[in-house]
Amino acid sequence: MKELFALVKRNCKLFFRDKGMFFTSLITPVILLVLYSTFLAKVYRNSFVSALPEGVTVSDALINGTVGGQLVSSLLAVSCVTVAFCSNLLTVQDRVSGARNDLDMTPVKSGTLALGYFVSSAVSTLIICFVAAAAGLVYIAATGWYMSAGDVLFLLLDVFLLSLFGTALSSLVNCGLKTNGQASAVGTVVSSGYGFICGAYMPISQFAPGLQKIISLLPGTYGTSLLRNHAMAGVYREMEAQGFPAEVVSGIRDSVDCNIYFSGKGVSVPAMYLVLVGATVLIIAAYVVICRVKRKS
């Protein structure tokens, strides 16, 4: 444990000392929040209004609360993974600088080294993503607040689990990279493409049926849906309190991916947690095994 703690402390210090990595990771959620609120807010609002049945009127406050919850959940769904790839760049930098070779020569076990990089990246990612979550909650409060204390706690739990998933995924991908150029290229691809395949930029319901089936196999899809469910739970309760028909509320939930379907069957929230946690554990196990094999070779 002493070796692991020392490695985590060393890696976190190096990450926060490197102003390039730190500010790149920190500014990503801020830029996304500005872009989302500037461009996507109107798209989400028009999409929501157009999906309402004829004769159903909704107050501006409720519409703003719906759009705010959708925006913040999209922001966090992307940030938890893209920030993880930024904070995990230290593993590649150590490999490029030769620091990893020095660590490999020490008596520290390969599994401890791998775990040290993972934990330090997770800590850095969680710090930034929780700051992003706080900024998102402030945005929701300014647009239309309907969340309960339980909704906020579950939202933070979703951020925690999705950040661990992003850290595990970035650790597994980065363990095979040998240059900073390769790491930057991977980070660019993830930053530009992950938001689409996880349903953050565009609801899965708007994709072609074949693509919907493929996306339903990805763990990040369920992380996005969990964030949607808890960021917008208060909005749905308010709709029911105002007398919205159950089928209308269900249709709205379908349109923003709060309801996810796998092989035509609805996936419950506990099942979504199971998929996300299970995928994270499997990826971490694969990461540790690969690191051990590489050190032996």
Q: Are the CB atoms for 167 and 126 separated by under 8 Å?
A: no
What is the rounded distance in angstroms from the CA atom of residue 193 to the CA atom of residue 9?
32
What is the rounded distance in angstroms from the CA atom of residue 269 to the CA atom of residue 275?
10
Q: Is the dihedral of CA 19, 20, 26, 31 positive or negative?
A: positive
pLDDT for 267 equals 87
pLDDT for 9 equals 77
What is the rounded distance in angstroms from the CA atom of residue 291 to the CA atom of residue 105?
14
What is the rounded distance in angstroms from the CA atom of residue 33 to the CA atom of residue 92?
28
Q: Are the CB atoms for 14 and 120 separated by under 8 Å?
A: no
Residue with structure tokens 């951020």? Answer: 159
Cα 189 → chain centroid = 15
Weakly modelled stretches of the chain, pLDDT under 50: none
Alpha-helical runs (H) found in 36-148: 41-51, 60-87, 89-97, 99-104, 110-143
pLDDT for 193 equals 75
pLDDT for 121 equals 86
Question: Reduced to 3 states, what is the DSSP secondary structure of residue 266?
Answer: strand
What is the CB-side half-sphere exposure of residue 50 using CA atoms within 13 A?
A: 8
DSSP 198-256: TTSSS-GGGS-HHHHHHHTT-HHHHHHHHHHHHHSHHHHHHHHHTT--HHHHHHHHHHT
| Strand partners of residue 266 | 261
What is the rounded distance in angstroms from the CA atom of residue 143 to the CA atom of residue 124?
29
CA neighbor of 227 nearest in space, from 120, 68, 47: 68
pLDDT for 244 equals 79
